[in-house]
Amino acid sequence: MLLTANNLSFAYATKPALRDVSITLDAGQIVALLGPNGSGKSTLIKCLLGDLSPTGSIVWENTPLVAWPRRNLAKHVAYLPQTPSADPQSRVIDVLRLGRAAHWGAFGIESAQDATVIAEVTALLGLNDLLSRPLDTLSGGQRQRVFVGRCLAQEPRALLLDEPSTHLDLKHQVELLQLLKRLAAERQLGVLMASHDLNLAAAFADELVLLMEGSIATKGPADAVLQPETLEKVFGLPMERLHLDSGRPGVFPRL
Amino acid sequence: MKPFTADQLLKSILIATGIWAVVAVACMMVGSTGRIEWPKDDVFEFRRDSILITSLIGAALASSGCVYQAILRNPLADPYLLGVSAGASLAAYVWRLTSFAGLLAILGAMSQQAFAFLGAMAAVGIVFALATRRGRIEPITLLLVGVIVNAVCGSLYLLLIQFNKSPAGSGSEMAFLVGGLQTSLLPEQKWAAVTVVSVGWVILLYFAGWLNAAALSDDEARSLGVGIHLLRWISLIIASLMTASAVAISGPIGFVGLVAPHMARLLVGVDQRKLLPLSTAFGAILLCVADSAGRFLAHRSLAGQWLPVGVLTGLMGGPFFLLLLWQTRRRE
């Protein structure tokens, strides 16, 4: 098991944000975190990265999170925030290079391995023609690919994404999820992503985790989780469920 | 993609040093005699020292400017923004007030430079203390507090001059406000500055690659394996130490720390590993040239006397700063 987190609870000042959340992530598995704004998706991801310190236990690859040196963890777990950042004047290659920061030697000296990995990531994401372009000349979709590239340059075993498709159009959203699916299948990458899109998550994730006010309302395969009654309770909206031609369930607010 | 190897690092340091050496030798030939020629024995040593010291100060200001700009995420940041120069000027002036020095015997035992250094560090300390929350440095607050501490120190300085009833502009207290090289430096003072600047520089270069992550949000930097809070503290303290030791022997020399990193960025991009060595060389070159220009203009009696180097860098750097600001705004 890549990740085992048990009984996580966390409060900002006095406001509880996570209550007794347990979650696991396996190699090659895609897990989607769903739930309304403020339900604890981002808080959970920050706890798993060690940015926040909840009560409970977090174990990455059989080692408790607190025992991981930051630099080693960066070689195993990568993180893509909702709005990734970089020096606005940097070129694509600068951003990708920074993904190797945990692997550099003293004085930031790079190894041949660093160059190989970046070449590989560049090819995988089709960034070859963009390498020397300044970041601020790219489209939203290209930008997103560069930041996914920075994560992959870390050669992680797990990738945590916080609403990665928020700023993307439908085509780019689907392409990103297809890429994650491929990486999960081909490289056994474990993917944990917070998402607002129930139907896309259902189409790509192996497991859905539905959060409500910091607790897990329900989790499991899409078919079991996406029940109108549960969703109504969580989102506070009347919902209806359709059976799509593809056989997947589709859920929509009843308007 | 070629990896950034140790060879490449050494090469860029050698090239940077080479460019500086060429300019420094050229500057040796410029003097207040008005003739462009290799200096005679009687002025050789004086001119050499002057060039080496200006280079050291330029290098210190430019490398700390480079680091400040990265950490504060602001391309317009200058090492003086954090109150370093104002603190140093104020302390240096207080040292001159013999009545005050008499009150505290310890002040009398310290040199003006050491006192200026302490003043600079005190100002930075106040800025840091006010701009941190739970041990974390907040770049925007830091800039604001720095500007205010700078202004307050500057006002106190003028207030002291007023009380002391010495005519402004005639005494050497003004020299410390506009930035002029101190000519009466003891060898120990020079070596202290050389040591602080070079040790600090090597440490900054060691961290330069990871300093690139300072442009990112804190949680991203951490997820890349960079302990960004500690890194910010270490580099800000080192850059401030370097600036303070430069200011202590020169007074505030503006804009070098701003202009040199920008010139370097145009050539090598944003990667601190390449940016730091080149910025350092450009800083040394700029100040060297400004100092030589001051000597030369003195001969032409355009200035009547040697121009403090800070006046020239201010005259050249001010418009440059406005140009940068204008460009930044146009891009937005």
Percent of chain B having pLDDT more than 90? 31
Query: Which of A79, A81, A109 lies closest to B9 in CB terms?
Result: A109
Tens-place pLDDT, residues B99-121 = 555 555 555 556 667 777 888 88
Question: Minimal Cα–Cα distance from B279 to chain A, Å?
Answer: 17
CB contact under 8 A, B220 and A107: no
pLDDT at A27: 97
Pairing of strands B136-137, A158-162: unpaired
Question: Minimal Cα–Cα distance from B84 to chain A, Å?
Answer: 26
- Number of Cβ atoms within 10 Å of the Cβ of B22: 11
Residue B70 near residue B231, CB atoms below 8 Å: no
Interface contact B222, partner A, CB < 8 A: yes
CA atoms A87, A93, A95, A100: torsion sign:
negative
For residue B171, pLDDT over 50 is answered with: no
E strands in chain B: 132-133, 136-137
DSSP B237-280: HHHHHHHHHHHHHH----SHHHHHHHHHHHHH-S-HHHHHHHHH
Residues of chain A found within 8 Å of residue B134, distances taken between Cβ atoms: none
Of A62-71, A183-192, B164-173, B257-266, the least confident: B164-173
Residues of chain B found within 8 Å of residue A108, distances taken between Cβ atoms: 4, 208-210, 272-273
Interface contact B220, partner A, CB < 8 A: yes
Read off the pTM. 0.88
CB contact under 8 A, A111 and B217: no
Tens-place pLDDT, residues A34-76 = 999 999 999 999 999 999 999 999 999 999 999 999 999 999 9
* Chain A, nearest residue to B71 by Cα: A87
The H-or-E segment that residue B104 falls in is none
Complex ipTM value: 0.92
Residues of chain B found within 8 Å of residue A72, distances taken between Cβ atoms: 225
CB contact under 8 A, A102 and B224: yes
For residue A181, pLDDT over 70 is answered with: yes
Residue type, B195: T
Query: Which of B208, B219, B270 lies closest to A81 in CB terms?
Result: B219
- Number of Cβ atoms within 10 Å of the Cβ of B131: 20
